[in-house]
Amino acid sequence: MSERRVVISVDMEGICGVSSWVQVSPPEFGGLVSGTEYERARTQMTLEAAAAAQGALDAGATDVLVNDSHDTMRNLLPDLLPDGVRFTSGNDKPLSMVQGVQETGVVGLLFVGYHARAGSVRGPLAHTWNGFVRDVRINGVSTGEYGLNGLLAGHYGVPVLFASGDDVAMAEISAELGGQVVTVAVKEGLSAFAAAHLHPREATRRIHEGARQAVQNAAQAQPHTTRWPAAVQLSLNHQARADAAERVPGVTRVDGVTVGWESENAYHLFQTFRMLAKVAEVRLDG
């Protein structure tokens, strides 16, 4: 039997029950965090990833890799994952949130706990990558982490099959990545810091069934792509960040807070964006 590998990229802001930065901030960040709330959120994060993994296995996946994709990327409680499932842990992975899509035999990528892009209306904890990014536009289309990750997976011929998270993110994903993506909204966004949630066990039930259906129909899915070469613009939240980003070779200044560049493929686009997001982490006190 041929391999049918699946990669699950699991973030935390889109998890059921989450609507505050306090809930998604690991303990090493000191005063920002309430340990009890973070521990509850990481448990639900793992349970939702486990539900997606079990759904993939029930649909015939021969190997499932759960890629911890939130913040320090050391959030998962692996003992709660199904037996036999592999997982990643640790920051600065070569492909970051979609580490593993480059492996042979991967038939699909699943998003769990995903959130809306920066600037979205009603998207709980909506952002893109870090708090410094205001907008990312690829060939004129604003996108979020889902679009960047979907394009990078598509570079390796891997389609996005499934997504779960808040309703605003699910609408954005359906609009950009198409109807082939099975989506499960586990909460309804009410504001930047409020949401109406499903019961956590209902959320995991729906994720399990959605992932099972998505992997079962993987053969019909197409990798996400765009027009190449792609024109990319990155808007930041302060001119000093754009000052720093503009100094990177191949990057040009578009306006006070925006820089741009051209990418021949999704790998170059993703790694350039990732580098610029890091360069933009400059002090603003001069």
The pLDDT tens digits of the residues spanning 52-84 come to 999 999 999 999 999 999 999 999 999 999 999
Give the residue-averaged pLDDT of 2-31: 89
Do 234 and 109 lie in one domain? The reply is no
13 labelled as ligand-binding? yes
With b for 16 or more beta-carbon neighbours within 10 A and e for fewer, the 168-192 pattern comes to: bbbbbbeebbeebbbbbbbbebeeb
For the segment 170-221, what is each residue's pLDDT rounded down to a tens digit?
999 999 999 899 999 999 999 999 999 999 999 999 999 999 999 999 999 9
Do 243 and 196 lie in one domain? The reply is no
Do 24 and 163 lie in one domain? The reply is yes
Do 270 and 206 lie in one domain? The reply is no
Residue 66 in any domain: the answer is: yes
11 labelled as ligand-binding? yes
Q: Which of 220, 242, 260 is the last residue of a domain?
A: 220
**Full domain range(s) for residue 273:** 230-279
How many distinct structural domains can be found in the chain? 2
Do 114 and 238 lie in one domain? The reply is no
CA gap 269, 65 in Å, rounded: 24
Residue 140 in any domain: the answer is: no
| Phi, psi for 65 (deg, rounded to 5) | -115, 120
Residue 73 in any domain: the answer is: yes
Do 112 and 251 lie in one domain? The reply is no
Q: Percent of the chain scored above 90 by pLDDT?
A: 91
Do 21 and 122 lie in one domain? The reply is yes
262 labelled as ligand-binding? no
Do 179 and 52 lie in one domain? The reply is yes
Q: How confident is the model at residue 27 (pLDDT cuts 50, 70, 90)?
A: confident
Q: Six-digit token pair at 55?
A: 């759904």
Do 112 and 254 lie in one domain? The reply is no
Residue 137 in any domain: the answer is: no
Give the residue-averaged pLDDT of 254-261: 98
pLDDT of residue 284: 85
pLDDT of residue 3: 86
The C-alpha angle with vertex 277 and arms to 272 and 278, in degrees rounded to 5, equals 100
Residue 60 in any domain: the answer is: yes
- The yes-or-no answer on residue 127 being catalytic is yes
Residue 286 in any domain: the answer is: no
145 labelled as ligand-binding? yes
Q: Which of 220, 250, 265 is the last residue of a domain?
A: 220
Residue 45 in any domain: the answer is: yes
Could you say which of 127, 208, 224, 268 is catalytic?
A: 127
Do 186 and 263 lie in one domain? The reply is no
